[in-house]
Amino acid sequence: MTKFGFIRHGSTAWNKERRAQGSSDIPLDQDGIDDAKKLAARLSSENWDYIYSSNLLRAKQTAEIVAEKLNVPALILDTRLREVSGGLIEGTTEAERLEKWGADWHSMDLGIEKVDSVLERGLECLKDIQLKHPDSNVLIVSHGSFIRHLLKELTPEVDLTSHLENTSITTLSISNDIWNCEAYNCVKHLDQTVING
């Protein structure tokens, strides 16, 4: 059985401004760094063998903080774990999108990456990780929309109505080609304080 822990990166200034980030390379803000340290402290009491991450800065920074605390052999960056590309909407707020393109902007071709493309690269990446690390526990640091698309595909029975929080962890296991969601959007570590973290 392979276990995956999907982590959404820590918060950024654009998260707080509710700007679409997509493939824009935005760093963590101080809250994002602090929350990643809390997550790392939590995960240090668990058994994780490998860490894979999107190569976008906000995910990479989160993964580096976790990897340092867990002392895993290597942090592996994979471009297939990047956020859904937002095309022309990257850097904009909902109000700005409404002003620029109107209420029907969702139905316009603004260069946003198609779901099929996201699933193709995401599922291929997971399959490769499974083959490379059978019966291992693998953390994947990625992005909200990317993770949600994968969860909808792999565990359609899971209620995904709650928004994935920054530094949340969602754990899935796969055995005999059957996916099981053990925890969704867990942020219990954010209630903790980190001493000398």
Show which residues are catalytic. 9, 83
Are the beta carbons of 158 and 148 closer than 8 angstroms? no
Two tokens, residue 164:
């994935």
Residues 179-184: contacts with CB under 8 Å, at least 24 apart: 179/154, 179/155, 180/155, 181/151, 181/155, 182/3, 184/151, 184/158, 184/159, 184/160
Is 14 within 8 Å of 21 (Cβ atoms)?
yes
Q: Would you say 166 and 35 are in contact if contact means Cβ atoms under 8 Å apart?
A: yes
* CB 131, CB 151: distance < 8 Å: no
CB 48 within 8 A of CB 138: yes
Neighbouring CB atoms inside 10 A of 45's CB total: 6
Give the number of other Cβ atoms within 10 Å of residue 114's Cβ.
10
